[in-house]
């Protein structure tokens, strides 16, 4: 019997040596076909999950879903691996509505379609329900300079609150290798030893109520984009309209420049972060609970409560920089100050469902 005809044009896949190569892997620079790319992409994530013992059979897992490429691919791949390898997990989608008109409202429509496409239940929590403020209202008050501080702090806590409502065992996020490398450099630049010591951990918050896991820790952002493109996954690709000057953006550009020179630079930065050893004499923040809302905090008040108190007093910059307790008095109706509206202070994390 005659051998199967080989492709006349282009290189053969370096893995199967049969089909024509369709892409060059950013991580390894191998030229491979789509089918082999799907296989190695999924197998690498499965290997990370198994070797790090991220999940246990029967666990309830919330997937942080924004509608973007990372969380969409994470939801799709976890659903596939859960069925293929019999993880025995109950998966849920968890989204946060920050209240950004023309951005989050559109991306949430994508998540709602993913809910149907992947057959995963969806829970949405909003800043308005939790804090009494939307990001549109916060930006109107404070401008574009420090808005990412508010959003990052509020979103992190909102995810934990949503995960608690779903009564899940773990929360998984789509943080990829690029994100983690950026965080390592950011923490070095900020001199943030506490965060530097844990930012490369694949699972964090194990001492808290709901641990967070990052199955994409060693997965390149470019490969996630390629996987979503070739699989024709339904995701939202517009960047947040309020983050053009985010500090992280400058580090991201630096990482991209390094990657162009040396593709393994991303993994090398992560490995460097893993190998950092903090001196035993270094005083680390002691974790406790916020006196106001009960959320985990190393201060008397958590950062979200400090920021929220500043907003409700009409002095939003009061919460920027070092955290400090603004007042131990009960919240009172705030009068209109600096152009803010009359509203009753809402405790951080309060849910009025």
Q: What sign results for the dihedral spanned by CA atoms 100, 103, 109, 112?
A: negative
Residue 319 annotated as lining a ligand binding site: no
Q: How far apart are the first and last CA of the chain?
A: 69
Strands 288-289, 296-297: pairing is antiparallel
Give dist(CA 74, CA 12) in Å, integer.
29
Tell me if 70 is assigned to a ligand binding site.
yes
Residue 258 burial (10 A CB sphere; 0-12, 13-18, 19+): middle
Look up residue 296 and give its DSSP letter.
E
Query: By the 8 A CB rule, do 139 and 180 touch?
Result: no
Closest residue by Cα to residue 180 from 48, 322, 24, 320: 48
Q: In this structure, what are the phi and psi dihedrals at residue 125, rounded to the nearest 5 degrees?
A: -115, 150
Q: How far apart are CA 156 and CA 98, in angstroms?
A: 11
- 90 labelled as ligand-binding? no
In the DSSP assignment, the letter for residue 214 is: -
- Cα-flanking dihedrals φ and ψ of residue 164, to 5°? -65, -40
- Pairing assessment for the beta strands 343-344 and 333-334 based on DSSP bridges: antiparallel
- Would you say 96 is a known binding-site residue? yes
Q: Is 67 annotated as a binding residue?
A: no
- Across 111-206, the runs of DSSP E, i.e. the strands, are 122-126, 170-172, 203-204
Numbered residues of the known binding site for ATP: 64-66, 70, 96, 174, 179
Numbered residues of the known binding site: 64-66, 70, 96, 174, 179
């Amino acid at each position: 019997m005659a051998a199967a005809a080989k492709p006349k044009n282009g290189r053969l896949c370096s893995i199967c040596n049969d089909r024509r190569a369709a892409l060059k892997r950013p991580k390894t620079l191998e030229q491979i076909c789509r089918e082999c790319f799907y296989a190695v992409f999924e197998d690498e994530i499965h290997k990370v999950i198994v070797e790090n013992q991220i999940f246990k059979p029967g666990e309830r897992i919330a997937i942080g879903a924004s509608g973007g490429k990372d969380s969409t691919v994470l939801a799709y791949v976890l659903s596939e691996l859960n069925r293929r390898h019999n993880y025995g997990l109950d998966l849920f989608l968890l989204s946060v509505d920050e209240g950004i008109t023309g951005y989050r409202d559109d991306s949430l429509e994508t998540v709602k379609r993913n809910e149907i496409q992947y057959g995963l239940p969806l829970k949405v929590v909003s800043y308005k329900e939790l804090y009494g403020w939307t990001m549109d209202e916060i930006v109107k008050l404070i401008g574009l300079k420090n808005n990412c501080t508010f959003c990052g702090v509020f979103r992190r806590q909102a995810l934990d609150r949503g995960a608690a409502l779903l009564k899940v065992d773990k929360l998984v996020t789509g943080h990829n290798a690029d994100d983690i490398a950026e965080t390592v450099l950011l923490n070095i630049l900020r001199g943030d030893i506490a965060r530097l010591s844990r930012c490369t951990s694949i699972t964090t918050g194990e001492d808290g109520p709901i641990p967070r896991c990052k199955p994409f820790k060693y997965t390149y952002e470019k490969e996630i984009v390629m996987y979503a493109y070739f699989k024709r996954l339904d995701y939202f690709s517009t960047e947040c309209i309020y983050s053009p000057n985010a500090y992280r953006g400058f580090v991201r550009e630096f990482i991209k420049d390094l990657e162009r020179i040396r593709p393994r630079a991303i993994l090398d930065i992560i490995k460097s972060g893993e190998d950092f050893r903090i001196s035993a004499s270094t005083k680390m923040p002691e974790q406790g609970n916020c006196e106001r809302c009960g959320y985990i905090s190393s201060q008397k008040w958590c950062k979200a409560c400090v920021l929220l108190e500043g907003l409700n007093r009409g002095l939003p910059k009061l919460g920027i920089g070092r955290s400090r307790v603004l007042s131990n008095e009960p919240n009172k109706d705030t009068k209109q100050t600096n152009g803010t509206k009359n509203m009753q202070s809402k405790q951080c994390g309060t849910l009025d469902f």
